[in-house]
Amino acid sequence: MTTGQELTNELGMVKISEEVISIIAGLAAMECYGLVGMAGKTIQDGLAKLLGNDHLSKGVEVETTEEGVSVDLYIIVEYGTKISEVANNIIDRVKYTLEEMTGVNVLEVNINVQGVRVNNAT
């Protein structure tokens, strides 16, 4: 397994680390309606912890192969939104953004819903 994605053309080679790919994927996902934030990859005691914007890559897991990248996102959605629609929007947005910004081939984007956040408006 490689530690990132390599792109080569007539001018030279560009290496993109998995960390950069995960940050771009996290930022692209956060632009989608219905997403409250990223969650940690593991749930302890049944509680999903909402990660801040400076820890977006911790809610994203990237696996690179010679064919491209696979991305797993661990998210928390807003109560009252249709989870399947939020997930489909995130998949489309992340795939498009990664392919446009980095030029890597995105093989798959998997969404793992770790929780639902209820807004406590009183």
pLDDT-derived band at 45, boundaries 50, 70, 90: very low
Classify 11 in phi/psi space as left (phi over 0), alpha (psi -120 to 50) or beta: alpha
Give ∠ CA 68-74-16 in degrees, rounded to 5: 30
Q: Mean pLDDT across the stretch 103-117? A: 93
Structure confidence by residue, pLDDT tens digits, 62-99:
999 889 999 999 999 999 999 999 999 999 999 999 99
Rounded CA separation 32/111 (Å) = 13
Q: Is 117 among the domain residues?
A: no
How many independent structural domains does the chain possess? 1
Q: Is 93 among the domain residues?
A: yes
Rounded CA separation 9/27 (Å) = 27
Count of helices and strands (H, E) across the chain? 2, 6
Between 63 and 41, whose confidence is greater? 63
Residue 122 reports pLDDT greater than 50: no
- Token code pair at residue 107: 């093989």
pLDDT at 117: 85
Q: 49 φ, ψ to 5°? A: -95, 125
Buried b (16+ CB within 10 A) or exposed e, 25-64: bbbbbbebebbbbbbbeeeeeeebbbbeeeebbbbbbbeb
Q: Is 119 among the domain residues?
A: no
pTM of the model: 0.81
pLDDT at 2: 47
Q: Domain range holding 72?
A: 4-76+86-109
Q: Is 120 among the domain residues?
A: no
pLDDT at 88: 96
